[in-house]
Chains A and B, each alone.
Chain A
Amino acid sequence: NAGVTQTPKFRILKIGQSMTLQCTQDMNHNYMYWYRQDPGMGLKLIYYSVGAGITDKGEVPNGYNVSRSTTEDFPLRLELAAPSQTSVYFCASSSVGAGANVLTFGAGSRLTVL
């Protein structure tokens, strides 16, 4: 059981380049989330999805785009990379319901924009 898998683990981009961070989960979770974490800071929610075809903005969505064509995949796209997007990105997923729904995180993708 792989859980939440993120690729790549590390990436260096030049200003203005584009890239996609991949996130896949094999737990059949409806909810998926993207967070970023700047050095020494907490996690900030970028975008989240409640199911295939449905996405919504979080706290810091500017400069990013997402899509959710399948239950398993939730890619995060950076269209025009900027130094301010240098961060560690975490993908997470959870089941949905009125009870307790535990978040499961991926190992993270460390992005540097130069």
Chain B
Amino acid sequence: DAKTTQPPSMDCAEGRAANLPCNHSTISGNEYVYWYRQIHSQGPQYIIHGLKNNETNEMASLIITEDRKSSTLILPHATLRDTAVYYCIVRLRTSGTYKYIFGTGTRLKVLA
């Protein structure tokens, strides 16, 4: 039922940019893309979201392709504390209600 596809794992050197891709080819025109991360077994933490324009906040940048079928989360200067599982999510609307279905995410390991 997941509407997003992500690579299962990635490594990144500390201090370098981490680029995490996500495919969401079935996204509808007015739905947002959300990114969360989960460190160990803590509750997932919101990172950023976007609709069609690129977005940036204090944590990350989000690049969304023009056709909106894929996006990339960028952590500009990865640190060891960014080691986590990153989830890309598109909200599903069924029968007028909304639900968020998580995929398996990308396990990012930041290497010293």
Identify the A interface with B (CB < 8 A): 4, 31, 33, 35, 37, 41-45, 48, 50, 56, 58-59, 88, 90, 92, 94, 96, 98-108, 110
Please give the distance in Å from A9's CB to the nearest CB on chain B.
Answer: 11
Please give the distance in Å from B87's CB to the nearest CB on chain A.
Answer: 7
Which one of B34, B97, B104 contacts A103 once the chains associate, using CB atoms below 8 Å?
B34
Q: Quick check: A42 and B102 within 8 Å, CB to CB? A: yes
Most chain B C-beta atoms within 10 Å of own C-beta, residue among A37, A56, A103 = A103
Q: Quick check: A45 and B34 within 8 Å, CB to CB? A: no
Which one of B1, B41, B100, B104 contacts A108 once the chains associate, using CB atoms below 8 Å?
B41
Residues of B within 8 A of A106 (CB): 43
Q: Quick check: B41 and A37 within 8 Å, CB to CB? A: yes
Most chain B C-beta atoms within 10 Å of own C-beta, residue among A43, A44, A107 = A43
Q: List 20 A-B contacts (CB under 8 A).
A: A33-B100, A35-B102, A42-B85, A43-B44, A43-B87, A43-B102, A45-B101, A58-B99, A59-B101, A90-B43, A94-B100, A96-B98, A100-B34, A100-B49, A101-B91, A102-B49, A103-B34, A103-B100, A105-B44, A108-B41
Q: Quick check: A42 and B46 within 8 Å, CB to CB? A: no
Please give the distance in Å from B10's CB to the nearest CB on chain A.
Answer: 16
**Interface positions of B from 78 to 112, Cβ below 8 Å from A:** 85, 87, 91, 97-105
Residues of B within 8 A of A104 (CB): 46
- Write out, one digit per residue, whether chain B residues 24-59 have a CB within 8 A of any chain A CB (1) or not (0): 000000101010100001111110010100000000
**In the complex, number of A-B residue pairs with CB atoms less than 8 Å apart:** 65
Q: Quick check: A33 and B44 within 8 Å, CB to CB? A: no
Of chain B, the residue at the smallest CB distance from A54 is B97
A31 to B110, CA, bound (A): 34
Residues of A within 8 A of B98 (CB): 31, 50, 94, 96, 101
Residues of A within 8 A of B42 (CB): 107-108
Of chain B, the residue at the smallest CB distance from A98 is B30
Q: Quick check: A103 and B105 within 8 Å, CB to CB? A: no
Of chain A, the residue at the smallest CB distance from B49 is A100
6 pairs of A and B residues whose beta carbons are closest in the complex: A105-B43, A43-B102, A42-B104, A100-B32, A42-B102, A50-B97
